[in-house]
Amino acid sequence: MSTPITVLIGSPGAGKTTVGEALARRLGAELRDTDAEIEARAGKAVADIFVEDGEEAFRELERRVVAETLAGWDGVVAVGGGAVLDADTRRDLADHHVVYLQVGFEDAAKRVGLNQARPLLAVNPRARLKKLLEERLPVYESLATATVPTGGRHPEEVVDAIVELLPESDGDGGGR
């Protein structure tokens, strides 16, 4: 059975996908972004799943995709920001190297643009993003094997920090 090299968690705008792509390239691995996998399986955007099927349907699909990925993916994983709210997902993550990509409100707001198709930010996006960051912070921190701040940093700088923190890493990306 395969296991991910590392799992990236964090709020919207933390850089999970961008950093995940750069990290996977550095390690000669592949990235599985669970939101992208959900979209591929559903045949529609996450925002459309929320609108057409509801958040509960999205969360059920998200739970299945995350569980399958954690059980059988041997690359880098980027998990949607809200996936960690599921108790089963939190239990599954306990067996993995989890990097919390920490981002402050201002950086997150700039990155998500507050105009993009992010379903949980559709109404009063600044206030909702601030609340999401505050609510989820303790969960992200409790799951993290390592925390890497992303604010004001280029994705490659974040990748450098993650590579240094990988288990059995010699710092050149050849760990594991």
pLDDT at 119 exceeding the cut of 60: no
Check: CB of residue 115 under 8 Å from CB of residue 45: no
- Parallel, antiparallel or unpaired: strands 98-102 and 76-78: unpaired
Could you state, in order of their start, the residue ranges of all structural domains in the chain?
A: 6-165
Nearest alpha-carbon partner for 89 in 78, 79, 99: 79
- pLDDT tens digits along 105-118: 666 656 565 545 44
3: amino acid identity, one letter: T
Kindly report which listed range (52-61, 124-133, 155-164) carries the lowest average pLDDT score. 124-133
pLDDT digits (tens, 9 = 90+) for 26-80: 999 999 999 999 999 999 998 899 889 998 999 999 999 999 999 999 999 999 9
The pTM score is: 0.85
Topology at the third CATH level for domain 6-165: Rossmann fold (3.40.50)
